[in-house]
A = this chain, B = another copy of it.
Amino acid sequence: MMTVTVSEATIDAGTEFAAISASGAGGIATFVGLVRSDDGVAILSLEHYPGATEAALRALADTAIARWDLIGARITHRVGDMHPGEIVVFVGTAARHRGAALEACAFLIDRLKTEAPFWKKETRGGETSWVEPRDSDDVAAARWKA
């Protein structure tokens, strides 16, 4: 079971977790990325490429489901304006065994960072700037090359 959602709605971790854990699997791994509250960002704005974003996320989820024989995968990504402490992205994987769930979860968030068309803009101290891509993201994504 695969569910991919991209929307401006607030992400509730409890709701997301309940959805991925309804699969009857033995192990659920999740990763949640939040707007950090410790580095002075007042607003994080996420722009995306409608249509292409969902297609990219579905392709990643398909790959993970096949590679780790997952029972379920769920990706929920917020776009628009967000505040510190709010959830930017939820990734959840369900599998019979924990190793598959954990690896697939790491795979999805690493690849999502480099392959899905999202762009972050930060407002801090009244100044707005686009976030620069990080080399470490490319390194993290590259380790999953089969």
Interface of A is mostly: mixed
For residue A2, give the distance in angstroms from its CB to the closest CB of chain B: 18
- In A1-53, the 8 Å CB interface with B consists of 13-14, 17-18, 21, 24-38
Verify if A56 is at the interface (C-beta below 8 Å from B): no
Chain A residues within CB distance 8 Å of chain B:
13-14, 17-18, 21, 24-38, 84-85, 96, 98-99, 101-102, 105-106, 109-110, 136, 140
Please name 30 pairs of A and B residues whose Cβ atoms are closer than 8 Å in the assembled complex, sorted by A. A13-B18, A13-B21, A14-B14, A17-B32, A21-B32, A21-B34, A24-B36, A24-B37, A24-B38, A24-B84, A24-B85, A25-B34, A26-B33, A27-B33, A28-B31, A28-B32, A28-B33, A28-B34, A29-B31, A29-B32, A29-B105, A30-B30, A30-B32, A31-B98, A31-B102, A98-B109, A98-B110, A102-B106, A102-B109, A106-B106
